Structure 1
Amino acid sequence: MENTTWVANHTGQSDFDLVGLFSQSKNPALLCVVIFVVFLMALSGNIILIFVIYCDTQLHKTMYLFITQLSLMDVMYISVTVPKMLMDKVVGMNKISAPECGMQMFLYLTLAGSEFFVLSAMAYDCYVAICPPLRYPILMNHRVCFLLVSSSWFLGSLDGFMLTPITMTFPFCRSREIHHFFCEVPAVMKLSCSDTSFYETFMYLCCVISLLFPVTVISGSYSFNLFTIHRMNSAEGQKKAFATCSSHMAVVILFCGAAVYTYMLPNSYHTPEKDMIVSFFYTILTPVLNPLIYSLRNKDVTRALKKMLNVGFVFQETIT
């Protein structure tokens, strides 16, 4: 009877404690400043990239539409976790209510899943541009592009709709401390006092299915790309195509590798410290890397950015 009451009381609590990165750091103030700077870099880099693509009519192409969607997802993705973490550090609180935890969980699952499918759409777009370039206007017209983008958002939200309600309805009768800097599913599940083995298997299968299609499309597309690049007669064309494919693959490997570690490896491979480090890479560092990869290594984007800066400079000179 006492145990039942104890379980009910703990399940009824509405707040969790996020024991995050700062508790593991020897210099939490410095870490807070670094994360804040990285957060500003991610926001500014992605917003500038979206703005440049939107303003320059020469960048109104299929590939750049995918890049704007990726940047939009990155802006939302990093905003789901980092502001809450930094605000908790500033005000000296680390609590998050159950509804806030569920919303955070749903948003990051949806955005992460959508990003996988956008990356696969970008890989397919790159394949069509390199392998059958003459058929590109037919295979990647505006209708197909819109379908791929909307499908990415829809398919990405499925994990959020499936996993979030189940995770948040489990009884939590252990410590309310989440050993993470946000409400990630595996970290929250560790607080449950019920048997979660079946749900963990279900979550594993969901992640396998969610990753199987994007990874197949991405690996297949880039395999054909590399084969086609190898057969090119132009050394300049080989260099340009290989640079594009290699930069895309770096993002994909980092993002997919982190997801495989978090959701598909057995519990024996996990520790709270490792989980936070891996999550730090794909929730905070990836949104910073994407605009650098897709802007600094893209001549069309750098040209549009320089043009915009020159126009702004001339306008400022005219006013003064």
Structure 2
Amino acid sequence: MNLIFTAFATLEGYREGSNANLGSEVFYRCIVVSLVSAKQKNQNCDAALVTNTAVPEPYAAQLSQAGIRVIACPFDNYRFEADLDWSLAYYKLCAMQYLLETEHYENYLMLDSDTFTQRGYQDIWREAAEAVLLYQVPHAASQPMTARISHTYDGLWPEGAPHVLTHFGGEFVAGSTARLQDFMAECRNVFDRMQQTGVRSQDGDEAILDAAAYRSQLAGKPVRAANAYVFRYWLGGHFYYVSTNYCCDPVCVLHLPGKAKMRQLTVLYHKYSRSGRMPENQTVWRLCCLPAARPPLLRSLWVRLRAKIGI
């Protein structure tokens, strides 16, 4: 049996990100969409919300009706100072560690709450037996966030600096119990080193995940890119970064970060609340304004004509 889960914590004074907190209502709506869509596409898997607080209505009833567990887990591990950017994001590591110690599933997949599942996870579970799977962010080594993560690692292990780490995101972490136990041991090693040295990161759990992935690979413990299964679709007006892989060699999980929490995912939540079922994939694609999976007709014909007549 496999477990799909999302982790969510609230703690007075702690930060959801690098900006002002959005508030729990936004996240609960996203959680319902994330877990219900995952459960509906993977009926033979368990799904759960791991949290340190009571789930309010109507969200608790919606999760229960969809067959989703709520697992209580204190935020007593991987805690940094409250005013650190993304201080609440470290709860995801706490939740994963807790599940590995208290549950008995074959494989685990941790998803961020701002996700929508459109396909089953059969291939994910096949790969999870062989490696930990993380979403590889398509950032060059000099991209500011990637460079900061590498610099953080240099501060922790200055021997051999400068290091160049692969930037993996924290929205998707999958693996078998054995693979994840080894990986979380590396995460713990990184966290302990941060506590000992006083080195901090403004990039949240990704700094620990990336350092753990780097050290795992050095130790011969495989970490693979999960990009065949998940993709970050940035839908903002100023930063629009998408792909046609929602339908061409389709991914399983649409990650919709940023303003999509208050827009697309909120609309999906209200659609589900009214009908009791998630919208069809095509409806979600249109809602997200994803590009057509074909080139523009007239422009394509014009290029073909020019190629044919040699101009």
Which one has the bigger helix percentage?
1
What is the TM-score of this pair, normalised by structure 1? Answer: 0.31
Which one has the bigger strand percentage?
2
Which of structures 1 and 2 has the larger relative contact order (alpha carbons within 8 angstroms, sep 6+)?
Answer: 1
Larger Rg: 1
What is the TM-score of this pair, normalised by structure 2? Answer: 0.31
